[in-house]
Amino acid sequence: MGMPSQKQIKLVTDHDAESAYNLAYQTLFTNIHFSWNNTPGQFHTVLFATPAMYAGKGAALANTAIAAAKHGTPTVLVDADIHGTGLQQYIGLGEHPGLSDLLLMEATTLQKIGSCLQKTFLPDLTFLSAGSKIQQSQDISKQLSFKLKNVIDGLRQLFEGDESRQGLIIFNGPPILSSIDTALISALADQTFLLIVSGQTTRTQAKKACEQLERAHAKVAGLIMLDA
């Protein structure tokens, strides 16, 4: 599926509801929703990642989450790219404790997870930032492998109170070929989407990224083409 150019960092809320930009993200969310387990009250987990670093990925993730929330789907956007630039800039939020802080805690209780969540300008969109920067990549990889499932389970418990609606947890993964972090996340996600950047992602990068996800037993749901 092709998505709009990210040269101008804009949100779908900046566009008319019937604009091509807005409709592209509505269509993406609809395609994701088609493959859900249709059990009311459950939260579906989706991971998005590129093979290599791409500056426009953050806007694409934020727009997808906004499209889901505007559709009336309770959505949690989780920035799991600890060493990235941060998704909070796209949704107008400042620095705040987030995922890395939870992973470094001895116990990830519901209260601690809740204290790291941030409300956004949309009632159905909640944000969990990447949190404090961690200097050593192996530190975050170790904590992801041991504690990420607890964080996901906690998020589900916090948001599954409304049994009439399905929910969505969207993970922003680091570049797949830069570390094993994305592979670790993909093993826990219900779906993984590989983002391919037109004119930038090479065939070799895409192939290696798919192989790494396959080794992690990721449930790869499809490829999304982004215009550079």
pLDDT tens profile 166-191: 889 999 999 999 988 999 999 999 99
pTM: 0.89
pLDDT in tens, 130-162: 998 665 666 777 888 889 999 999 999 988 766
**What average pLDDT does the chain have?**
86
Q: What confidence score (pLDDT) does residue 13 get? A: 65
pLDDT over 70, % of the chain: 86
How far is the C-alpha of 145 from the C-alpha of 140, rounded, in Å? 9
Residue-wise pLDDT tens digits, 47-84: 999 999 988 888 889 999 999 999 899 999 999 998 87
Structural domain spans, the chain:
41-227
**How far apart are alpha carbons 3 and 225 in whole angstroms?**
6
Partners of residue 119 on adjacent β-strands: 126
Q: Are 125 and 75 in contact (CB under 8 A)?
A: yes
Structure tokens at 95: 């620095």
pLDDT-based confidence at residue 193 (cuts at 50, 70, 90): very high
Distance CA 126, CA 7 (A): 26
For the four alpha carbons of 33, 39, 41 and 44, in that order, the dihedral sign comes to: negative
What dotted CATH number matches 41-227?
3.40.50.300
Confidence tier at 218 by pLDDT (50, 70, 90): very high
Tell me the pLDDT band of 8, cut-offs 50, 70 and 90: very low
User: Which pLDDT does position 115 carry in this prediction?
Assistant: 96
SS3 221: strand
